[in-house]
Chain A
Amino acid sequence: MSITYLEAIREAQAKALADDPRVFIYGQDVGAFGGAFKATKKLAQDFPGRVLDAPISEDAIIGAGIGAAIEGMRPILEIQYADFSTPGFNQIINQAATLYWRTRVPCPITIRLPSGGISGGGPFHSQCLEGLYAHYPGLIVLTPATVEDAYSMLLEAVALDDPVIFCEHKHLYYHLKAPALPTDAMPIGKARVARAGRDLTIVTYSAMLHEALAAAEEVAGDGAEIEVVDLRSVKPLDTDTVVASVARTGRLLCVGEAFPWGGVTAEVIARVATEGFGLLDAPPQRLNAKDTPIPYHPNLWSMHRPTARNVSAAARQLLRM
């Protein structure tokens, strides 16, 4: 018996629907079809009238979620691909993110964004937009890297009174498995040391966690011990855990799948430079996707984003500094 990352997301939604009559799901193809990735498989049958197909109208999907939240509901909004959240961007950043601050009326919506690259995805089905959303005040941005986090953080997201951008990674949907659903969980806002080490810290999140862990395993063969920190949520970002790790290792490599300009890795380095400059024995480094749209062909795509191979190369280079 094992459960995949995708099944965990489905189960979390089933539990949220079962536990809380305020919860409903709204998005394209989420009803009888069960979602483009089957993250809502059979939920429409199990919860009649509460899992609704939406027209191809991301702006209106998010807008309706906001209106429903104002009236006391807890919508889960599935955007078919994170890339397609941009037509709904205005509602997310200008309506959902500002509502509580402007009016003191909370906006408890969870926006699920199937994110990140899979082979053959190309420029418009592969993007990682966590850095974009984290830029805006009033949003919580989650990037679960494990089956356990996908389940528990989605449930916590639905329970929160704020708009949550839930970046679930498509590559992990089927590849990642756990023996069972978790019975307890770390809270949102706390990073996790996924692998202990003393020579170098890799700070990462989402699918890149697994590339980083593989790289750490490879570099361990050289005798170097890499500590890997999984941010879990990029906003809020657990600076304390990151700085504590850098205090142990003196070296920092940040790895993210998003585009390189700005973003989460730049934010982590800015915080460590600001709050832990004296802890660093070498210049902090970062590794991101290339500064081009995401390529379609696997030959190009495999070089576009960080992988265990270039993470380990970057780590070895940093260890020599």
Chain B
Amino acid sequence: MLETVENARRPETAAAPFPAQYLKAFRFMLLARVLDDKIASLGRAGKIHGGVFLGRGQEALSASLGMALQPGDIFAPLIRDGAGRLAFGEPMLDAVRTYLGSVLGPMRGRDGNVHRGRPRNGLLPMISHLGAMISVVNGALMAKRFQNVQGVVGAACLGDGGTSTGAFHEGLNQAAVEHLPLVLVVADNQYAYSTPTSRQFACRDLADKAIGYGVTPHSLDGTDLEGCLKVVFAAVAQARAGGGPQLVVASLLRLCGHGEHDDAQYVDPLLKQSPLGRDCLIVAEERLLREGWADVKSLKALRHTVTQEVEEAVATVQREPAPDPYQENWCALASRHLSETFASPPPDGTA
């Protein structure tokens, strides 16, 4: 059974027993990882046009955020937020269809890979320009305020590299000035493509930036699911309760290249061996076993189920049509009567 926007976006409550919440998050992490592995495999097989971008190593953080958000919230995920998307309720088919270019997907072949969303469901489709989604989330939250809709939170995701943009500064400052319920989650994954953090910023810790904007900082270990759940849920709750913008900075290591075209040979081996280099999925699985919240058999069954879900989605989408350029309306305007028609030579070349 595939998750849908409707049935997956049940609000989390603090009353949910922690092991159940942990296991639920683990399931989203595992689903995202298996889906990523499948997409990477399809990419290697030449089945995907354009780039493949994985969330390996960031699933705990991302799933925690997706679970902390509720129906009616606004979510602007970034490229490594497959787990958060699933937890927020993005149908897995959206991911597969957008990667494979199915005309039935939300982007219909007009945009690809991680550039997908359903704005009407609060899921904003990222553009490639980092930091640009922050102010868009702000505006959505301002709209909610105009409309007297209470209790809404907006979340935007970014990496360490994105904090160097002007859009980050403008967006976070704007959220603070407007006292918006924005949760800005920064995955400090040590590299922006190949650039290490030492060439990205000179502050001690990215969370230190929060005070300069008048927003609340939160720091966490992105390899530890429990820490992610607790801190991210607390930040979201604080924003929802009227506490203004929250800046969550997670330390972790990107366990893949920037994209699958990138072998990431530049990653410092010492970082890989450090606590930052732990795989959050393995850490979480070990915790599940250690605490007795799951056993080897049930985890094996879970992995089987999740793999089946992914295989089913891919098999479904592989039978779906690609966009037909002759069926495309080639119109970028909602007001179609105002679209331009440009004269072009007749197809047979005669004047």
On A, residues with C-beta under 8 Å from B are 24, 50, 54-55, 57, 59-73, 75, 87, 90-91, 94-95, 97-103, 105-108, 137-138, 140, 160-162, 188-189, 235-237, 271, 274-275
Assess the B132–A95 pair: CB atoms within 8 A: yes
Knowing that A55-B177, A60-B134, A102-B107 are A-B contacts, what are 13 other residue pairs whose CB atoms are under 8 Å apart, sorted by A's residue number?
Answer: A55-B173, A57-B135, A57-B174, A59-B167, A59-B171, A63-B170, A68-B139, A71-B139, A73-B142, A75-B139, A103-B106, A103-B118, A162-B335
Say yes or no: A98 contacts B127, CB within 8 Å: yes
Chain B residue numbers with a CB within 8 Å of A161 are 334-335
Q: Is the CB of A103 within 8 A of B142?
A: no
Given A71-B143, A94-B129, A60:B337 Cβ within 8 A: no
Given A60-B173, A102-B107, A188-B338, decide whether A67 and B135 contact each other with a Cβ distance below 8 A.
Answer: yes
A65 to chain B: closest CB distance in Å? 6
B340 beta carbon closer than 8 Å to chain A: yes
Q: Which of B14-22, B109-117, B222-230, B270-278 contacts A (4 or more CB under 8 A)?
A: B109-117
Min C-beta distance of A16 to chain B, whole Å:
14
B contact residues around A61 at 8 Å (CB)? 135
Chain A positions within 8 Å of B136 at CB level: 63-64, 66-67, 70, 91, 95
Closest to B344 in A: A274
Which B residues lie at the A interface, using CB under 8 A? Answer: 74, 106-107, 110-111, 115, 117-120, 124-125, 127-129, 132-144, 146-147, 166-167, 170-171, 173-174, 177, 331-335, 337-340, 343
The reply to whether B338 and A189 contact each other, CB–CB distance below 8 Å, is yes
How far in angstroms is the closest Cβ of chain B from A75?
Answer: 8
A69 to B111, CA, bound (A): 21
A58–chain B nearest beta-carbon distance, Å:
8
CA distance A190 to B144 in the complex (A): 36
A59-B166 contact in complex given A100-B333, A103-B119, C-beta closer than 8 Å: yes
- Please name the residue on chain A nearest to B123 by beta carbon: A103
Residue of A nearest to B176 (CB): A55
Residue of A nearest to B169 (CB): A57
A102 neighbours in B (Cβ, 8 Å): 107, 110-111, 115, 125
Q: How far is the CB of B264 from chain A (nearest CB, A)?
A: 27
Q: Is the CB of B338 within 8 A of A67?
A: no
**Is the pair B135, A24 in contact by a Cβ cutoff of 8 Å?**
no
Centre residue among B117, B142, B174, B334 by max chain A CB count within 10 A: B334
Cα-based distance from A313 to B338 in the complex (angstroms)? 35
Q: What residues of B have a CB within 8 angstroms of the CB of A94 in the complex? A: 127-129, 132
Look across to chain A and name the residue whose beta carbon is closest to the beta carbon of B117.
A103
In the complex the two chains form, is A55's CB within 8 Å of B106's CB? no
Q: Are A95 and B127 in contact, with the CB atoms below 8 A?
A: yes
CA distance A224 to B302 in the complex (A): 85
In the complex, the answer to whether B137 meets A24 with C-beta atoms within 8 Å is no
Residue on B nearest A189 in the bound complex, by CB: B338
A99 CA / B132 CA spacing, docked (Å): 13
Kindly state the separation between the CA atoms of A174 and B136 in the bound complex, as whole angstroms.
Answer: 35
Q: Which residues of A contact B143 (CB under 8 A)?
A: 67-73
| Contact partner, A140, options B120, B139, B141, B335, Cβ 8 Å | B335
State whether B110 touches A64 (Cβ < 8 A). Answer: no
Q: Which of A50, A60, A87, A137 makes the CB contact (< 8 A) with B332?
A: A137
Give Cα A91 to B338, complex, Å: 22
The answer to whether A103 and B125 have CB atoms under 8 Å apart is yes
Give the CA-CA distance A235 to B135 in the complex, in Å.
27
> Are A24 and B146 neighbours in the complex by a CB distance under 8 Å?
yes
Contact A271 B343 (CB under 8 A): yes
Give the docked Cα–Cα distance between A73 and B143 (Å): 6
Identify A67's interface contact among B117, B125, B141, B167, CB under 8 A. Answer: B141
A218 to chain B, nearest CB (A): 34
> Within the assembled complex, what's the spacing in Å between the Cα atoms of A89 and B8?
37
- Distance in Å from the Cβ of B254 to the closest Cβ of chain A? 25
